[in-house]
Amino acid sequence: MASSKDKVYRGKLKRAGSLTMKEPPVITNVSGDRVFRLEEFDIIKTIGTGTFGRVSLCRDKVTTSYYAMKILEMADVIKLKQVEHVKNEKTILQQIRHPFIINMVWTTHDDTSLYMLFEYVCGGELFTYLRNAGRFSSIIGSFYAAEVVLALEYLHKKQIVYRDLKPENLLLDRDGHLKLTDFGFAKILNDRTWTLCGTPEYLAPEIIQSKGHNKAVDWWALGILIYEMLSGYPPYFDENPFAIYEKILAGKIEWPRHIDPVAKDLIKKLLVQDRTKRIGNMKNGAEDVKRHRWFKGTIWDDILNKRVKPPLLPYVGSDGDTRNFDNYPEKDQFKRSPLLNTNELESFNGF
Ligand SMILES: Nc1ncnc2c1ncn2[C@@H]1O[C@H](COP(=O)(O)OP(=O)(O)O)[C@@H](O)[C@H]1O
Ligand SMILES: [Mg+2]
């Protein structure tokens, strides 16, 4: 039976978006032999909106294949001080290739907007499946957690910290495997970084305290994600973000009675305030997480090679089916985007 706390949280269908506080890119206009042009794409329907822009299903007129196009208005990117983040997003996406991470195909810009073209991941957000199910069993949760662990391990080996792990940024592909998307806050780490970004419920204590943070924040967020998958709501929540931060720093977690004690042990080790003692961030890195008893039955090589059958199979009709996404109001076609001055335009050179 759902607890009252459960009901309160599930009433909130959409969480507020991510926070907006704070290598020269290579021009990519080719994929294989193909040279893309914006005119070759029909924009069909908005399938996601975020803090800075929208993601639309689009169709390549040349091959008739479907893609997802993330479109950001440069004026908004500048206003919200996201120029560096957006450049990071592109540079990082260009460097990664992993079975559980979104594949970027092409980027371009015109005089008002930035465009990032991605493979279309038709199953929709893990968030939707979780809210529909209420909560996941330990078996389902550990499958998704395992795919996330491999994605994080891969990114961290490349010195990339992801910083926005949550069910809204995990998409299900046609077969039900995860694709981590949204690299808007990802960053290549040298030492520590100070920008306050992420989503309130998923922020590690060291981010809130502005102590400087590193890869450990992703392991913290994994702890929040596993708790949310198994409970249906995150361990720390409130209407007011500041009250969430207070709860995170106080560190008191209420455990639903049904939670798997082995999962609870892993969550506790991930939600350790002292990041030097947080599992995933110690000498053996991700290996400690992979060896935890909750993953006892997990054969990591099988997970990586997609030999494990996903627990949920998205329902999809034809190729460009958007039934797994919410409906969003479409942008007013006749509203002109604000024009930029030369200086502003130059800050996106090479995108
Ligand atoms: N490649 C994709 N295929 C299908 N849907 C996508 C894709 N990329 C993003 N989306 C949808 O759009 C939403 C917003 O995209 P995201 O990259 O997370 O932008 P934001 O930075 O605005 O949160 C995602 O949560 C997802 O629902
Ligand atoms: Mg997002």
Ligand 1: atom nearest CA of 125 is 27
Q: What is the pLDDT along the chain (351 residues), one digit of tens a residue?
A: 344 444 456 445 577 777 654 433 333 444 566 889 999 999 999 999 977 789 999 999 999 999 999 999 999 999 999 999 999 999 999 999 999 999 999 999 999 999 999 999 999 999 999 999 999 999 999 999 999 999 999 999 999 999 999 999 999 999 999 999 999 999 998 766 777 788 999 999 999 988 888 999 999 999 999 999 999 999 999 999 999 999 999 999 999 999 999 999 999 999 999 999 999 999 999 999 999 999 999 999 999 999 999 999 999 999 999 999 999 999 877 777 888 999 999 999 889
Q: How far apart are the CA of 182 and the centre of ligand 2, in A?
A: 5
Burial 67-102 (b: 16+ CB within 10 A, else e): bbbbbbbbeebbebebeebbbbbbbbbeebebbbbb
Q: How far apart are the CA of 244 and the centre of ligand 1, in A?
A: 25
Query: Which residue is closest in CA terms to ligand 1's atom 5?
Result: 121
Which of 67, 112, 191, 145 lies closest to 303 in space, CA to CA?
A: 145
Q: How far apart are the CA of 297 and the centre of ligand 2, in A?
A: 31
In the chain the first and final C-alpha atoms are separated, in Å, by 51
pLDDT recorded at residue 18: 72
Tell me whether residue 335 is annotated as binding. Answer: no
Cβ atoms of 147 and 303 within 8 Å: the answer is yes
Q: How far apart are the CA of 257 and the centre of ligand 2, in A?
A: 31
pTM to 2 decimal places? 0.90
CA–CA separation, 285 and 149 (whole Å): 11
Query: Which residue is closest in CA terms to ligand 1's atom 22?
Result: 50
CA–CA separation, 306 and 14 (whole Å): 30
Alpha helix ranges (H) inside the chain? 4-10, 74-79, 83-95, 126-133, 138-157, 205-208, 216-231, 241-250, 261-270, 286-290, 300-304, 342-346
Ligand 1: atom nearest CA of 102 is 1
Q: Which residues line ligand 1 (CB under 6 A)?
A: 47-48, 50-53, 55, 68, 70, 102, 118-121, 125, 168-169, 171, 181-182, 184
Ligand nearest to the Cα of 166, by number: 2
CA–CA separation, 89 and 93 (whole Å): 6
Torsion-angle region of residue 48: left (phi > 0), alpha (psi -120 to 50) or beta? beta
For ligand 2, a single-atom ion, the residues with CB < 5 A are: 50, 169, 182
Query: Which residue is closest in CA terms to ligand 1's atom 18?
Result: 182
CA–CA separation, 329 and 345 (whole Å): 28
Cβ atoms of 100 and 148 within 8 Å: the answer is yes
Look up residue 143 and give its two tokens.
Answer: 């499958």
Among 47, 85, 165, name the best residue to mutate to test ligand 1's pocket (greatest count of ligand atoms within 8 A of Cβ): 47
Q: What 3-state DSSP class applies to 230?
A: helix
Cβ atoms of 60 and 118 within 8 Å: the answer is no
Catalytic one among 164, 173, 182, 218? 164
CA–CA separation, 83 and 351 (whole Å): 11
Q: What domains, with CATH codes, occur in the chain?
A: 17-122+320-341 (3.30.200.20), 126-304 (1.10.510.10)
Q: How far apart are the CA of 283 and the centre of ligand 2, in A?
A: 31
Ligand 1: atom nearest CA of 325 is 27
User: Strand 160-161 relative to strand 187-188: parallel, antiparallel, unpaired?
Assistant: antiparallel
Instruction: Name residue, tokens 């309160």.
Output: 8
76 is known as an active-site residue: no
Instruction: Name residue, tokens 């001080």.
Output: 81
